[in-house]
A and B are shown apart, each in its own frame.
Chain A
Amino acid sequence: MIDVDLSMVNWARGQFALTAMYHWIFVPLTLGLSFLCAFFESIYLRTGKEEWLSITKFWMTLFGINFAIGVATGIILEFQFGTNWSNYSWIVGDIFGAPLAIEGIFAFFLEATFFAVMFFGWNRVSKRFHLFSTWMVAIGSNLSAVWILVANGWMQNPVGMIFNPETARFEMHDFAQVVFNPVAVSKFVHTSSSGFLMASLFVLSISCWYLIKGRHVQMAKKSIIVACVFGLLSSGYVAFTGDESAYEVAQKQPMKLAAVEGLYKGETKAGIVAAGILNPHKKPGDNQDPFLIKMQIPYLLSILANRSLNSFVPGIDDLVYGNAKQGIESVESKMIKGKKAIKNLALFKQAKKDKDDPKAKLALEKFKENQEYMGYGYLNNPEESIPSVAIPYYAFHIMVTLGTLFPIIFALFLFYGLKDSLTQKRWLLPIGLISAFLGLIAQQSGWVVAEVGRQPWAIYGLLPVKVSTTNLAVGNVQTTFFMFLGLFTLLLAAEIKIMLKQISIGPSEGR
């Protein structure tokens, strides 16, 4: 068995969470603001009115400030797989590396090449080519999201690969399955549309500040109309794909669904928790009520999870301790099989090294009997297979509540914006002003649900996080953790300060 320094694993886990969460402050804005800039510039080219040029340049300036720090925080994520998770990189690199390389070839170069034109090409290329470049930056940014989410989707729902005992790693078997993995597809559409929504909230928020202050009123009103149309459409996609994502989670990661719903004992005709407070003393397997208080919508969880009113939705206890009636195997049983697989893989590797072919053949046969449970063999107890319940539960409900609120906000602003009465609705403007912060909370919550809910697995059901790390002394990871924390916090502070100054300067004087 592998000796694991748990404190190192947790520092590495914390470092990935830290860098990913910082990165995700900026990325949704890049995904959406790039398209909004393209919309504004398209309107400018169509109308020829200078005010749209001014609007375009203003939002582009903010886009550029955000883009730079998004790039800065992004590079570490790719290389962190190698530095902190080298065992992971070896075991799944044959599958996981390809989407990252494709992202580099097709998406990053598109962004990088046309970004320069977008910012420095106003007097160097034709108006049409400039607009084309802005669109290319938007497409490039979103193309990069495709590939990174293909990679992430594969971690959530590993498909299209086989385990090769000779190399002791997973290898690609069907690339199309990896790319068109249903989890990856729904994840991409959900994530990118939520990025569009976030950018729309950002534009709305800043425009509301101008309306409150009575500055750049025309520019703010125009920006609000465009942002609200985009935001409203995006909200529809977010809701639709959110439902699809939840269905995929229910099918592929039932433990995650049970955690986000605080569902311990499985139910038929299961209701969804609209709001509630978890019982902090609840333990898996006991008979305490998981909730102190809750408000439930009947049947909805069964519909969401299985598209069937009368279907059974397994709870945490069913998934951990098994439910013979529903045909669910216990984790303990899977662990026993997994440990056999690990033992036989070790015997196979040793026999191969000793060039003892009969022994290797026998060990391989025994390994294959249980190989699909190998990941469970690394767990020390069945309860280790349960993620934190409180974190994904609250994060999920915050995300959904805010996600329901946003289309209402967009609809109100669009309605009053089209009636040109926004400046009279003083009560509405502060709501718009804070909406970007709410969007940011929803964005972060979404990833918390996805990643905390996936624990303890790096590759769902196959490779636990604790065996994915590099063999490093904890001090190394602690040091880099604090280096990143310090540096990213410093850069974030600089970004916010610069951004606020640019907003206070306003459109025509910007840059």
Chain B
Amino acid sequence: MISNLDYTTLQQLWWIIIAIVGALFLFLTLVQGGQTLLWQIAKTDLEKSLVITCLGRKWEMPFTTLVLFGGALFAAFPKFYATSFGGAYWVWMLILFSFIIQAVSYEYRKKPDNLLGARVYELFLFINGSLGILLIGAAVGTFYTGSNFTLDLYNRVTWDYTLAGINLRGLEAAFSLFNLCLGIFLVFNARVLGALYLLNGIDLSSTPDLESRLRRQVWSNFFIALPFLLYVLISLLTMKGFNVDNTGTVSLTASKYLSTLLAMPYLPIILLCGIILVIYGVFSSSFKQSNQGIWFSGLGTIFTGLVLLILPAFNNTAFYPSKLDLQSSLTIYNASSSMLTLTIMTYVALGIPFVLAYVVYVWKLMDSKKLTVDEVNEESY
């Protein structure tokens, strides 16, 4: 069956797969969100150990998902991989740096003779959870706002945006209000998810202060995230988009994303469900003392992320537009791998449900008992 799929279907399928991986990554940023909460919610060493250990059991998940996100883009859309990573050099480099320092921090923070001291490793975790996620948001924002590149006949990228004579190589993405708002929303949404996950994963019976702080954080971070989300959503409905006509010519078109939402009505439905689920998770945890909010807000984040990643790529839209030369813009059709590679990768993707199944099984197994003080005293990060 897979070998009978046409090229266009494969290209669309692979963008959807990447969107799903990206949306799952946004859910898993609960780890990053939790990291940024550490200094606010954990006032004692014991509380810190509880928080870090609870998050530490999952730190590899967003990390691995990000690596898969990159690998899948490389395999399925190599022109995007080359253009974006090579072009928006500094954005990606800083994101990577924030993940490098995260990777060692859980393991090294509490180890004796760790050279830098626990506080520095905690700072590393904070940088990863704040700057790292903010820049990821800004990078995703360029799917809508465009970037400053041109491609030559051989698809070699030239990036051109200078400030005071310095080519910013992608850092200018953070100067766009839309990109910035998306980034800030993702940071605070991650903090909401982090607080919800900690409420769910830790046995808080012996640390009631921690519990009340977590519940407060759920609400307050959601409250901060909301205006940024609203700005992003209103902008999406009103902004110009990068339309591709039948001849492949790219032009700026009014209300492009609104027309895509209308043309693909299941997208606004999924988006609405996503937002409602996020809100339900927040309210149930803040006001009903539930500890299950993470599943609602998590699913809601996946839905919202899915729409945010699908919207700029479908309905004849350039998903990685160039502001400098509209005709250099990338679509899922001109940026993809060959049909054979996409076909092979689709066979490979049949393994993803199996991978997801054992990830979910082990997650359930490991989280079936809440993390207790006794356990942390025995084994902790």
Contacts and interface: CB of A to CB of B under 8 A. Distances in A.
Interface string B85-99: 111011011001101
B108 A498 contact: yes
B82 A100 contact: no
A71 B113 CA distance: 21
B352 A116 contact: no
B85 A79 contact: yes
A97 B341 CA distance: 9
B338 interface: yes
A212 interface: no
Contact of A480 (B93, B104, B351): B93
A109 B359 contact: yes
Given A72-B104, A86-B87, A97 B379 contact: no
Which residue, A114, A122, A497, has most C-beta atoms of chain B within 10 A? A497
Chain A interface residue bracket vs B: 35 or more
A94 B362 contact: no
Contacts of A93: 74-75, 78-79, 81-82, 337
Interface in A65-80: 65, 67-69, 71-73, 75-76, 78-79
Per DSSP, are chain B's interface residues mostly helix, strand or loop, or mixed? helix
B366 interface: yes
B63 A75 contact: yes
B86 A83 contact: yes
A483 B94 CA distance: 11
B178 interface: no
Which residue, A76, A87, A104, A167, has most C-beta atoms of chain B within 10 A? A104
Contacts, number: 259
B208 interface: no
Interface residues of B, number: 77
A122 B380 CA distance: 12
Which residue, A64, A82, A125, A472, has most C-beta atoms of chain B within 10 A? A82
Given A86-B85, A470-B89, A68 B100 contact: no
Contact of B75 (A85, A97, A497, A501): A97
A164 B82 CA distance: 18
A191 interface: no
A43 interface: no
A104 B379 CA distance: 29
Contacts of B64: 104, 108-109, 111-112
B83 interface: yes
Given A104-B67, A120-B379, A487 B158 contact: no
B256 interface: no
Interface stretch (A171-179, A253-261, A403-411): A171-179
Contact of B100 (A101, A487, A494): A487
A124 to B, nearest CB: 6
A75 B337 contact: no
A123 B378 contact: yes
Contacts of A108: 64, 67-68
Interface of B: 53, 56-58, 60-61, 63-64, 66-68, 70-72, 74-76, 78-79, 81-87, 89-90, 92-93, 96-97, 99-101, 103-104, 106-108, 111-116, 153-159, 167, 169, 337-338, 340-341, 344-345, 348-349, 351-352, 355, 358-359, 362-363, 365-366, 368-369, 375, 378-379
9 contacts: A75-B96, A82-B70, A89-B74, A90-B78, A90-B79, A97-B75, A97-B341, A353-B153, A470-B87
